[in-house]
Amino acid sequence: MNKIRSYLGIDTSNYTTSVALCAEDGTVLENFKLLLGVAEGERGLRQSDAVFSHVKNFPVLAEQVRRVAETHEILAVGYSATPRPADGSYMPCFLVGRAVAEMLAATLNVPIYPFSHQEGHIMAAVYSSGNQGLLERDFIAFHVSGGTTEVVSVTPKDAGFTCSLIGGTADLNAGQAIDRVGVKMGLRFPCGKELEALAQTNQTKVPKPKIAVKGKTCNLSGLENMAEKLYATTGDKALTAAFTLDFVAETLYRISCNLREELGEIPILYAGGVMSNRRIQARLGVLPLTNFSEPQFSADNAAGTALLCRAAHMKTIETNEGANEIL
């Protein structure tokens, strides 16, 4: 039986253990994900707990990967080594992914390629958006999640992206605000999906959010207090959920409008777990040249890392073949 020639990606964020496979033609074949365990009432994990959770998750994912790998020939392994493509960017949880990736690459005797978690998010979002043209030009990316709320100027390169931070939150991350409000209403962390479901049931007029945006920078710390006050006053979970998501949506919308005024008609890509929210997407989708991915490629995943691994390996082969021709 001919095996499918594939690339393996690994990502170990502070929220999810992820392993993915993509084919030589750039099609994502598998996208396995396992959330890290968070105790009821908690709003996240310490890094030491995240590392331990990844260690516990990998044996579970390993069995799924083993079954798939029986029909695949792994050509190279890619992993998320850092949170962002920047000097000094570091989080202990990514060390687990590195260890597993190095072990697999050594066992399979294949090349290994490190990337950043942010590049993986951007690549997965480009893939899922269906706009492959973004890989041929500069664009703006919003990386909006529990651990990050950043606006970056992106320039594609052979395998990955050059990302320059140009804006984002000055305090709380959007995902943090959403989770804190959800936990205070008794929802289980992470709260995004349940908050979105509650918001869809709301029948009450949502108060206009008083956002804090200056240029490309925002403040989100006030959202937690406003939402808590609204819930304490009304006891209405659906209304509070709608208000919370509308606050985030309006904040991102205002920053996007400011970007348009400054930079003109440049494409904007929205990536990260928060951007899987359809209510937020609907608000931003009225703007031109906006690009969104499907939820499974917005939240933490290793699909983007597998795709980046493919690009890096193909570039290495191309370079080596060119060198051989010269010799």
Main-chain phi, psi angles of 208, to 5 degrees: -65, 125
Distance CA 288, CA 9 (A): 32
Going by the DSSP 8-state scheme, the letter that residue 132 receives in this structure is G
Q: What is the share, in percent, of the chain residues with pLDDT greater than 90?
A: 87
Distance CA 250, CA 18 (A): 31
pLDDT in the model for residue 324:
57
pLDDT in the model for residue 319:
80
The dihedral through the CA atoms of 309, 315, 318, 324 has a sign that is: negative
161-166 long-range contacts, Cβ below 8 Å, gap at least 24? 161/85, 161/119, 161/122, 161/123, 162/85, 163/84, 163/85, 163/86, 163/118, 163/119, 163/122, 165/86, 166/140, 166/216
- Count of alpha carbons within 13 Å of 235, Cβ hemisphere only? 0
What is the mean predicted confidence (pLDDT) over 238-249?
98
* Average pLDDT along the chain: 94
Q: What is the share, in percent, of the chain residues with pLDDT greater than 70?
A: 98
Q: Is 275 helix (H, G, I), strand (E, B) or coil?
A: helix
pLDDT in the model for residue 21:
96
Distance CA 45, CA 210 (A): 30
Q: What is the pLDDT of residues 171-209, one digit of tens each?
A: 999 999 999 999 999 999 999 999 999 999 999 999 999
The amino acid occupying position 257 is C
Domains of the chain: 4-132+298-326 (3.30.420.40), 166-294 (3.30.420.40)
30 pLDDT higher than 60: yes
The dihedral through the CA atoms of 99, 105, 111, 116 has a sign that is: negative
96 pLDDT higher than 90: yes
More confident residue, 43 or 304: 304
Element (H, E) at 87: none
Q: What is the pLDDT of residues 38-78, one digit of tens each?
A: 877 777 788 999 999 999 999 999 888 888 878 999 999 99
pLDDT in the model for residue 262:
96
Report which listed range, 8-12, 87-91, 296-300, is most confident.
8-12
284 pLDDT higher than 60: yes
pLDDT in the model for residue 64:
85
Distance CA 215, CA 136 (A): 27
The structure tokens listed for 86 are 């920047």
Integer-rounded Cα radius of gyration of the chain = 20
The structure tokens listed for 26 are 């750039």
Nearest residue to 185 via CA among 243, 246, 227: 227
pTM of the model: 0.94
pLDDT in the model for residue 2:
86
pLDDT in the model for residue 323:
55
β partners of residue 217: 168, 214
The amino acid occupying position 231 is Y
Proportion of the chain in helix, strand, coil states, percent, rounded to 5 = 50, 25, 30
Do the beta carbons of residue 117 and residue 11 sit within 8 Å? yes
pLDDT in the model for residue 45:
82
